[in-house]
Structure 1
Amino acid sequence: MTITYSCIANGRAVLAELSLTGGSYQEAAATVLRLVLLRAEPKTIMQMGSFVYHTLFIDGITYLCATDNALDTITPSAFLKNMQYNKNQGDSSISTLRSQVTEVKNIMSKNIDEILENEERLNIFTDKTDDLQTTAKESQKTRKILRRIWWKHFRKIIIITVVILLSIIIILLSTNVIPT
């Protein structure tokens, strides 16, 4: 008895497979996987064509192997248990990987929160800067208006001063206080 094909599947999706001969096992394996999912029995043995398919179904994962002899069930059963055992050994690395992914996810979440806080501060700073620019522009306009008003008043004062001086000179000339 020889194990000619083996695979590990999650549902009907084959995660890993190995074929020791050149046969095409994919169609038969797909049929066996579908039947295993329908039955949901922990162990099954099915004859399809010239091969016997042995399965071990645990926690949604199916461990499958194909043999060329239906008489021996101990070897395929031990093989499938060994595959499942190796899977559990890898769980520590998977759990380590999961914890690292969770840690990275938490760090990314903190970074995103910090970025959002910084963006909020930047928006506040930008708003204050815009307000200062608006105030500065209004201040410049106010200064220009005040200068115009000052020049108008200054002109009026000069004109009034000149008119008063001319009036005084004319009066003094007409009264002959200032000789002509």
Structure 2
Amino acid sequence: MTITYSCIANGRTVLAELALTGGSYQEATAKVLRLVLLRAEPRTIMQMGSYIYHTLFIDGITYLCATDNALDTVAPSAFLKKMKYNKNQSDCMISTMRSQVTDVKTVLTQNIEIILEKEEKSNIYLDSTDDLQTPVEEFPKTRKISRRISWKHFKKILIITVAILLSILIILLSTNVIPT
């Protein structure tokens, strides 16, 4: 038994392929990928021409290999598992992504702390200047104005925080760090 062809595909797009022998695998591979997507079964074995195509379909990614022997299914299955579980690149990518997310969280926390400090200082200055300049009967009005300003700043901070957290969540979901 010889594995003569292998590829990795996202949907019907072949991402990487290797052919050990000459031959036209593209047409058969396109048919196999179409059938795998239609069936959406985790494992399939099908014959096209003189080759047997073994597939492993997980999370929209298809791992495919072609053999010249229909009787052996153990070796192709083991080969497909090795293709899927190549941990060196994915672990490195995940750890890189996690460190980037941690960096974004740190910067976000620092920015929020700076904004809160500046808002607190501005409120102190607003309160002190309002107290000095306004007569006693207008004092409740100035408190309402400063509360409105504080509320506007709070809403801005809240919106920015939610937007950044949503973008982090989208990044984590798109890179499959958080499984869907």
Q: TM-score normalised to the size of structure 2?
A: 0.52
Q: Is the 8 A contact 1:54 1:77 kept in 2?
A: no
What do the CA deviations read for 1:95-145 (whole angstroms, capped 9, x no partner)? Answer: 45324422330231121121122133235546667888999xx8xxxxxxx
Residues 1:97 and 2:97 are matched in the alignment: no
- Matched residue type, 1:9: A
What RMSD over aligned residues (CA atoms) do the two structures have, in Å? 3.7
| Number of aligned residues | 132
1:12 partnered with 2:15: no
Residues 1:87 and 2:84 aligned together: yes
Deviation at 1:18, TM superposition (A): 1.3
Tell me, what secondary structure is at the counterpart of 1:118? helix
Residue type of the partner of 1:85?
Answer: K
CA distance in 2, matches of 1:27, 1:134: 79
Q: Encode CA deviations 1:3-54: one digit per residue, 9 max, x unaligned.
A: 442102244332321134564533431221120232316231221xx44241
Query: Which of the two has higher C-alpha Rg?
Result: 1
User: Contact 1:12/1:33 (CA < 8 Å) preserved in 2?
Assistant: yes
CA contact (8 A) 1:33 1:62 kept: yes
Counterpart CA distance in 2 for 1:127 and 1:24 is: 74
1:55 aligns with 2:51: no
> In the alignment, what sits opposite 1:153?
none
Per the normalisation by structure 1, the TM-score is 0.52
Task: Give 1:141's aligned residue.
Answer: none
2:93 alignment partner AA: L
The question of 1:112 aligning with 2:113 is answered no
Amino-acid identity (%): 36
Unaligned 5+ residue runs, structure 2?
134-180
Q: Tell me, yes or no, if structure 1 residue 43 matches structure 2 residue 44.
A: yes
**SS of residue matched to 1:37:** helix
2:64 match: secondary structure: strand
Return 5+ residue gaps in structure 1 as ranges.
139-180
Alignment of 1:82-161 (within 5 A): 82-88=79-85, 90-91=86-87, 94-125=90-121
Task: Provide the residue aligned with 1:73 in structure 2.
Answer: 70
Structure 2 CA distance for aligned equivalents of residues 62 and 131 of structure 1: 64
Secondary structure at 2:114 match in 1: helix
